[in-house]
């Protein structure tokens, strides 16, 4: 069961690649950079509480993004869009 508040939307981008064109259309509340899977996960989970109903971006190495997604039961690779709330991470299609 998800919580009653709006989930945050996290856009996870490969820090070694240019952002996809669709990111230009996003209204982004904050941008972060992570070095590894642990830092990425902490940023996503902490930021999800701060940015409920909003979108934030985290740039990290592609392999670290894949590992974070895999550990949360979400398949995929960068770029990835996930909704995050107290129920966990859920994949979302890119806008």
Q: Where are the beta strands (DSSP E) in 6-85?
A: 8-14, 28-33, 55-60, 80-85
Per cent of the chain over pLDDT 90 is: 89
Q: How many CB atoms lie within 10 A of CB 11?
A: 24
Cβ-Cβ contacts under 8 Å for 27 (sequence gap 6 or more):
54, 55
Per cent of the chain over pLDDT 70 is: 96
The separation between CA 77 and the C-alpha centre of its own chain, rounded to angstroms, equals 11
Q: What is the pTM for the complete model shown?
A: 0.93
pLDDT in tens, 60-93: 999 999 999 999 999 899 999 999 999 999 999 8
Please tell me the predicted confidence (pLDDT) of residue 2: 46
The mean per-residue pLDDT over the stretch 16-29 comes to 96
Torsion of CA 54, 77, 90, 34, to 10 degrees: -50
Q: How does residue 4 score in pLDDT terms, banded at 50, 70 and 90?
A: low
Is the pLDDT score of 9 beyond 50?
yes
C-alpha 47/C-alpha 49 separation (Å) is 5
């Amino acid at each position: 069961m998800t919580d009653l508040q709006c989930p945050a939307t996290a856009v996870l981008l490969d820090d070694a690649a240019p952002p996809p064109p669709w990111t230009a259309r996003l209204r982004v509340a904050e941008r972060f950079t992570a070095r590894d899977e642990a830092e990425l996960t902490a940023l996503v989970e902490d930021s999800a509480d701060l940015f409920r109903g909003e979108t934030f971006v985290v740039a990290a190495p592609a392999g670290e993004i894949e590992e974070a997604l895999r550990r949360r039961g979400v398949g995929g690779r960068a770029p990835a869009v996930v909704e995050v709330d107290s129920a966990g991470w859920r994949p979302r299609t890119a806008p």
